[in-house]
Amino acid sequence: MRVAGIDCGTNTIRLLIADVPGEAGAPLADVVREMEVVRLGQGVDRTGQFDPQALERTLVMVDRFAAQCREHGVESVRFAATSATRDASNRAQFIDGVRERLGVEPQVITGEQEAAASFSGAISVLPAGAPSPLIAVDLGGGSTELALGTAEGEVLAAFSMNVGSVRMRERHLVSDPPTAAEVAAARADVNAALDEAEAHVDLAAARGVIGLAGTVTTVTAQALGLDSYQPQRIHGAQLSLEQIEETCEWFIAAPFEKGGTPGYMHPGRVDVIGAGALVWEEVVKRIAARTAQAGHPITHVVTSEHDILDGLALWAAREPQAPQL
């Protein structure tokens, strides 16, 4: 069966077209995997609604993705809108636009549903013998999802924090590079969100951590010393806690808007990568502290190229939704 998952977040919109093998447990076979920075959530944290230009940019990409679904004979589509759409008072305009272009009903999923879908996608390619339970951290533009679950796929607890790369950039890190006061305020914001998350997710239970999405893969590319984006090297990479802290601090301090874009990073991520790195650093520090207190400290974090997008494609296979293209 040929399926498609479309993940529309605060900063990016992504498409996965994949073939679902007949045998149980076999991984998806990618046909198309594409990402574009559209910044749908531009200003949503401040205004509570979508900017008209951001809507227009995003719907242009939905048109393009619909054309690719037609071209590749997609039989079932799942379209998920996440943090920015949850927060926007004029979300109906966006939902109507997607429905008109794809001929399917888009889902505005909750933070907990987003966390579960991300976890499903992340563990779909785990090797045998992976640690369990583990935490999948999906760090997006508007929110960061924490999902604690078993290597067999059972989600034990999940929580969505309203902190992400775009949201922290717009709230706090407005200078380039950010001032010490801005960085301190952003760290306090993230740690307050983590305090709330710990009421829902037992971070100390984790025996392993998987990091997902663009901030994490970009930090990994820098830590590995890559000159270009190489998903085959990024996927499955294990970074030590020291590597993550050092690389995140480098991103936070780097004046990218004046200094250019590294070859491994999408230009649309330049202004928010420092904010995303700050969130990632604080999340990893908190999980590391809790697991150390529990007597089984994590020593590294695994990066995955497979995330909510894969979870959406698997959902499209489980519950088919034929597009009217």
Give the global pTM.
Answer: 0.89
d(CA 40, CA 141): 10
Listing from the earlier edge strand, what are the strands of the sheet with 300-304?
155-161, 144-149, 134-139, 208-212, 300-304, 238-240
Which amino acid, 197?
A
- Given this model, what pLDDT does residue 257 score? 66
Q: How far is CA 63 from CA 13, 56, 146, 325, in A?
A: 12, 11, 31, 10
41 neighbors 11 (Cβ within 8 angstroms): yes
pLDDT digits (tens, 9 = 90+) for 29-78: 999 999 999 999 888 888 999 999 999 999 999 999 999 999 999 999 99
d(CA 137, CA 148): 9
pLDDT digits (tens, 9 = 90+) for 252-297: 998 876 667 888 988 888 889 999 999 999 999 999 999 999 999 9
| Assigned CATH topology for domain 126-304 | Nucleotidyltransferase; domain 5 (3.30.420)
30 neighbors 89 (Cβ within 8 angstroms): no
d(CA 78, CA 99): 11
For the segment(s) 2-110+309-318, the CATH number from 1.10.540.10, 3.30.420.40, 3.40.50.300, 3.40.50.410 is: 3.30.420.40
The residues spanned by each domain of the chain are 2-110+309-318, 126-304
300 neighbors 4 (Cβ within 8 angstroms): no
DSSP 268: G
Q: Which residues of the chain have pLDDT under 50?
A: none
- Given this model, what pLDDT does residue 197 score? 97
Of 106, 191, 97, 201, which Cα lies nearest the Cα of 148?
201
81 neighbors 41 (Cβ within 8 angstroms): no
Of 146, 148, 121, which Cα lies nearest the Cα of 304?
121
Alpha helices, DSSP H, located in 224-272: 231-234, 241-253, 256-259
d(CA 325, CA 322): 9
d(CA 227, CA 321): 40
Instruction: Please indicate whether the domains covering 2-110+309-318 and 126-304 agree at the CATH topology level.
Output: yes
d(CA 287, CA 190): 13
